[in-house]
Copies of this chain bind each other. A is one copy, B any other.
Amino acid sequence: MSGWSGPPPTVVDVGEFGLIAELRAALPDAAAESPQVPIGIGDDCAVWTPSPGESVVVTTDSLVEGVHFRTDWTDPASLGHKTLAVNLSDLASMGAVPRLAVVTLGLRGDESVADLRTLYAALGVLAARTGTVIAGGDIVRSPTALVLHVTAIGETVGGRVLTRSGARVGDVVAVSGTIGASGAGLALLGLDPDDPRRQAATADALIDAHLRPEPRLELGALLLRSGATAAMDLSDGLLGDLPKVLAASRVSARVEPGRLPVAAAVRAIFPERWAELAMRGGEDYELLFTAPPAAFATISAEAGRLGVPVTAIGEIVAAAGPPEVLLVDGNGEARPAGSGAFDHFG
């Protein structure tokens, strides 16, 4: 699995400037150059000209070894993909179009240059596929842990973005794709390799969902143009993230756990934990959004054509007190869900 076994030379062997040249060469052309980004890698700053009338959308996210990933659980290519994907997911959640990114690597120095080239090439493939130019960055020494840090920059379409604060009473609450697969994949990685659950035919797909999330850029654009009222990406689990939308919008939500789109593989491999994985698993990088019913119908039809189905899981209701998530059981009875975003220090 791990794939961190590249041959010499190491980073120390080639030095900082040698490594910059190697990484630049590892990028696909379409990720390294663009007429819209006339100045990129090699100067003090990158320069980019947004489309006239559009605003700039900025997000930043880091992956730290031992906190966000383990090198014995992921391979260089998957890590490179995910590093950019989690940032593009934030742009997707606002309906923005990615344009460029700057990447900082924090390295010990004993890493294989070949592994880092593999990491960067995979990051570059996702960049090229999404129209993102890797416009520079920084390489610094990091004493103990590999650190990957990205700032992704995009632009609005029609001058607007989706935020967390627009959910209104009566809106449908929905999610894209399935939820819980990433959490299930992470749980599988934590099992003994001989555990029969690791051997399930569908285990690799769940692990892949954890290691290589797909940013929902086309869906985000669809949500923006089709009248969604609020959106965010699911990084901290449904019960971690939905309360952020509710707080920003000052409303509550009724959610029917029976309607959650949970992959059959998650239910099959974790029959006693699937609901928890779906609601609190985190790192799905699917989009959570709200929309009036008519708009939701349009979105649902078009999302199917994009190959990214969306599922209604509940509705927005007026908040009687502080905004909260109400879980509705099969008898129609509602009880407040204990919220709980992932807290790095919790």
Contacts and interface: CB of A to CB of B under 8 A. Distances in A.
A143 B60 contact: no
Interface of A: 11-12, 15-17, 19, 39, 42-50, 52, 55-62, 64-68, 90-91, 93-94, 96, 100, 102, 104, 106-107, 109, 135-145, 147, 149, 151, 153-154, 156, 161, 163-165, 232-233, 248, 341, 343-346
B62 A149 contact: yes
B64 A56 contact: no
Given A343-B17, A344-B140, A164 B52 contact: no
Majority secondary structure of chain A interface residues (helix, strand, loop or mixed): mixed
A173 B153 CA distance: 35
A16 to B, nearest CB: 5
Contacts of A15: 343, 345-346
B16 A343 contact: yes
24 contacts: A15-B345, A16-B345, A16-B346, A43-B164, A44-B233, A45-B94, A45-B96, A45-B161, A47-B94, A47-B161, A48-B55, A58-B151, A59-B102, A60-B102, A61-B138, A62-B138, A62-B140, A67-B141, A107-B344, A109-B344, A109-B345, A140-B344, A142-B147, A144-B145
Contact of A44 (B55, B144, B149, B164): B164
Contacts of A96: 45
B345 A11 contact: yes
A135 B58 contact: yes
Interface centre among A17, A59, A139 (most CB of B within 10 A): A59
A270 B38 CA distance: 44
B94 A139 contact: no
Contacts of A154: 45
A138 B153 CA distance: 15
B62 A45 contact: no
B52 A52 contact: yes
A43 B163 CA distance: 7
A149 B104 contact: yes
Contacts of A52: 52
Contacts of A68: 140
